[in-house]
Structure 1
Amino acid sequence: MKAEMIISIFNEFDHQFNYKSHSELNSGHINDTFLIKTDGDTNYILQRINQVVFKDFLGLVNNKVLTSNHIRSKYPNASDEVLNKTVLSFIKEKNSNSYYHKEGVNFWNVMIFIDDSVTHEIVKDEEIAYEGGKLLGDFLNLTSDFDSSQLIDVIPNFHNMAFRFKQYASSIQSASKSRLTKAADYIQIVADLKEEMHILQNLKDAGEIPIRVTHNDTKISNSLFTEDNKGICMIDTDTVMPGIIHYDFGDAIRTICNTAAEDETDLSKVEFNLDYYKAYEKGFLEKTKDSLTEVELKHLPLAAKTMIFIMALRFLTDYLNNDTYYKTTYADHNLDRAKNQFKLIESFSKKL
């Protein structure tokens, strides 16, 4: 994207300093994100929202801003300077909207960049796992009294197990004989786990687990740390929406506790890292234990297993659908991803 356009869009927002340079950040897979350096002591993040993935852009931005403002309200005595270094802070467009839109230029929003911060693509030690758990716990604790009905479902049915099984059943009906044959062992595993994997969904539907504000993309790269690995805050809140805490806890565990990449084909390398689990859980519970119900606490381990399973099911479904959703680089790529996640479930079940 040309610098002239970046500058033009950035200048539609009510920021304090002048554009000096920009660079594209490539950590996300959906939106275009740019770091804007200025001639002052504040830098910014300029983000273009992908309207193909996120249909209700206005609802998405509203979710992010409402959640951020609620967290900021928890620190009434903190200065803006302090808050801007510890909480996501959104800058309004000059007409007081929280976004900018011009026909042909998509939708954009701007946040204050938190300087002297780092992210981690993978967890390399228990300290990062522990701090990551504290960050998620803090996010859920600070938003526990926020009315989640004010938020939209950015991605409807995202973690809905009944919906995922409906997609899966459809893929079974339309799959080729050769793919069904290759996937036969894993189709049986899905059948064996089906009842257990609906427990959280059934509790949610019955109202036995409270609906809260949830992040819904809790991989470790969405946690921001200081340079000495102390947690700052959760970032990338595009998927904030109503949900249950088990989605967030379970997906974090799924992504940090696999000892191999999720498409590793040598399954002997795929193990569940129990030390990282315990470290993350310890940090998480330090922040949330007093605000969670007995039912929520009881089902934390099941949350991890369920979120690993739901990814295994989605990979398997896409394989049976001839790879229509996830990008693949070879014929059985999605099947290998599914095998990987099922092996992680097996390892998890043996260790926990």
Structure 2
Amino acid sequence: MDAGIPSSILARWGDLAERPHRPHGSGLINRTFLVEGRRGPVILQRLHPVFAGVVNEDIEAVTAHLARKGLITPRPVRTDDGALWVDGDDGRPWRALTFVEGQSFDHVPSPAVAREAGRLVARFHVAVADLEHEYRHVRVGVHDTKRHFATLEKALAEGRSHRLFGEVAPLAERLFRAAERLGDLGGLPQRHVHGDLKISNLLFRGEGAVCLVDLDTLGRMIWPFEMGDAFRSWCNPRGEDEGAAAIDVAIFEAAIEGYGEVARGAGIVTGEEARALVAGIGTICLELSSRFLADALNESYFGFDATRFATRGDHNLVRGRGQLALHASVEAHRGALEGAARAALGG
């Protein structure tokens, strides 16, 4: 059972002091609560150790910019003495955000929802295109593809006695062969991005997309990686926890068409970036597969599903196999995907 929010933390926001609260959402990173504040509901979160308090300065800057552009967005709620976050007794930061009403999905239920998701992300990208901000919290190496592959190589070298080695090794061999065909996307421009556009980080009302949430990953990244991560999430109806993943071309077509309806003509995506989109999806699939396969041998996964899998390694093996299958599916449908991207974005 969740211990709840310490009263000393709630007291820093006078409107929230001694107010009822309950766990909110299904995220595995931050501990999230909905607090019934005296002036309405507020989200209060205890951040995961990977995030320092200064990430809230980035969120404040970006969401203020989004609000000025007319976009709906959660905003930081400062404490009574003006702080953006409060350090708990264990040194972990707590922060408050305005509550935005909406529904999230674990999987894209229809092409109509995919189209709205694409439109929302494009509105976000258009809005932040002129943002001037140097990020305080920087996720170093988050898409350092070679580093992820090297981590898998190390896990293989050190994990030969692991009970799952016989299953992981042939998958890793397939992965490394596929990686030899990856192009170099390093010369593309670094743009302001959300950084983690899995479908559960978008809020909807009906089929209309309202806003992006989980903003701790804001930063700069190349556009094909930002959208590659989005599409590998949105267009895989089976999700990460199934080994037989495949891309849904109809979902992709709807999503990129929605994105293009907003972005085309706005000057936020070059022809070179658009042509690299499918390569970006494939690269993200292989990155994730390498991470999951390494974690299978290292038995390291913070949120594995003990109701379905015996160990963290077993869960990660399925995830690693699934992302490798998704990469193969992307390659099998490359022509259709690239054609849809050209039609939606030009280039």
The TM-score bracket by the shorter chain reads: 0.7 to 0.9
Does structure 1 retain, via aligned residues, the 8 Å contact 2:56–2:76?
no
Match of residue 58 from structure 1: 53
The one-character-per-residue Cα deviations of 1:49-73 (angstroms, maximum 9, x if unpaired) are 122x32xx13211121111112123
Taking structure 1 as the reference length, the TM-score comes to 0.84
1:295 correspondence with 2:295: no
Query: What amino acid is aligned across from residue 85 of structure 2 in structure 1?
Result: Y
Deviation (angstroms), 1:132: 1.1
Does structure 1 retain, via aligned residues, the 8 Å contact 2:106–2:200?
yes
**Aligned partners of 1:343, 1:147: CA distance in 2, in Å?**
39
Query: What amino acid is aligned across from residue 243 of structure 1 in structure 2?
Result: M
Does structure 1 retain, via aligned residues, the 8 Å contact 2:155–2:298?
no
Does structure 2 retain, via aligned residues, the 8 Å contact 1:224–1:234?
yes
Alignment of 1:307-318 (within 5 A): 307-318=284-295
Deviation (angstroms), 1:21: 2.5
1:209 correspondence with 2:209: no
**Aligned partners of 1:215, 1:317: CA distance in 2, in Å?**
26
Deviation (angstroms), 1:273: 0.7
For 1:46, what is the secondary structure of its paired residue?
strand
Match of residue 125 from structure 1: 110
**Aligned partners of 2:288, 2:135: CA distance in 1, in Å?**
28
1:329 correspondence with 2:310: yes
Flag the 1:14–1:62 CA change in 2: closer, same or farther, 3 A: farther
For 2:320, what is the secondary structure of its paired residue?
helix
Query: What amino acid is aligned across from residue 21 of structure 1 in structure 2?
Result: P
For 1:109, what is the secondary structure of its paired residue?
strand
Deviation (angstroms), 1:28: 0.9
Q: State which drifts further: 185-194 or 233-242.
A: 185-194
For 2:257, what is the secondary structure of its paired residue?
helix
Flag the 1:92–1:333 CA change in 2: closer, same or farther, 3 A: closer
Does structure 2 retain, via aligned residues, the 8 Å contact 1:151–1:241?
no
**Aligned partners of 1:13, 1:39: CA distance in 2, in Å?**
11
Deviation (angstroms), 1:2: 5.4
Flag the 1:339–1:97 CA change in 2: closer, same or farther, 3 A: same
Match of residue 243 from structure 1: 221
Q: Number of residues paired by the alignment?
A: 324
Match of residue 171 from structure 1: 155
Match of residue 90 from structure 1: 76
Deviation (angstroms), 1:183: 3.0
Does structure 2 retain, via aligned residues, the 8 Å contact 1:140–1:245?
no
**Aligned partners of 1:288, 1:120: CA distance in 2, in Å?**
24
Aligned match of 1:230 in 208, 216, 225? 208
Flag the 1:20–1:94 CA change in 2: closer, same or farther, 3 A: closer
Match of residue 253 from structure 1: 231
For 2:298, what is the secondary structure of its paired residue?
coil
**Aligned partners of 2:61, 2:86: CA distance in 1, in Å?**
17
Deviation (angstroms), 1:312: 1.0
Flag the 1:18–1:180 CA change in 2: closer, same or farther, 3 A: closer
**Aligned partners of 1:271, 1:138: CA distance in 2, in Å?**
28
Query: What amino acid is aligned across from residue 283 of structure 1 in structure 2?
Result: G
Deviation (angstroms), 1:8: 4.2
**Aligned partners of 2:22, 2:88: CA distance in 1, in Å?**
22
Flag the 1:20–1:157 CA change in 2: closer, same or farther, 3 A: same
Match of residue 10 from structure 1: 10
Match of residue 158 from structure 1: 142
Does structure 2 retain, via aligned residues, the 8 Å contact 1:19–1:39?
no
Deviation (angstroms), 1:44: 0.7
Aligned match of 2:200 in 211, 221, 246? 221
Match of residue 27 from structure 2: 28
Query: What amino acid is aligned across from residue 224 of structure 2 in structure 1?
Result: H
Does structure 2 retain, via aligned residues, the 8 Å contact 1:22–1:35?
yes
Does structure 1 retain, via aligned residues, the 8 Å contact 2:9–2:88?
no
Query: What amino acid is aligned across from residue 229 of structure 2 in structure 1?
Result: D
Query: What amino acid is aligned across from residue 322 of structure 2 in structure 1?
Result: N
RMSD over equivalenced CA pairs, Å: 2.4
**Aligned partners of 1:338, 1:261: CA distance in 2, in Å?**
12
Taking structure 2 as the reference length, the TM-score comes to 0.85
Deviation (angstroms), 1:11: 3.3
1:71 correspondence with 2:66: yes
For 1:43, what is the secondary structure of its paired residue?
strand
**Aligned partners of 1:10, 1:23: CA distance in 2, in Å?**
13
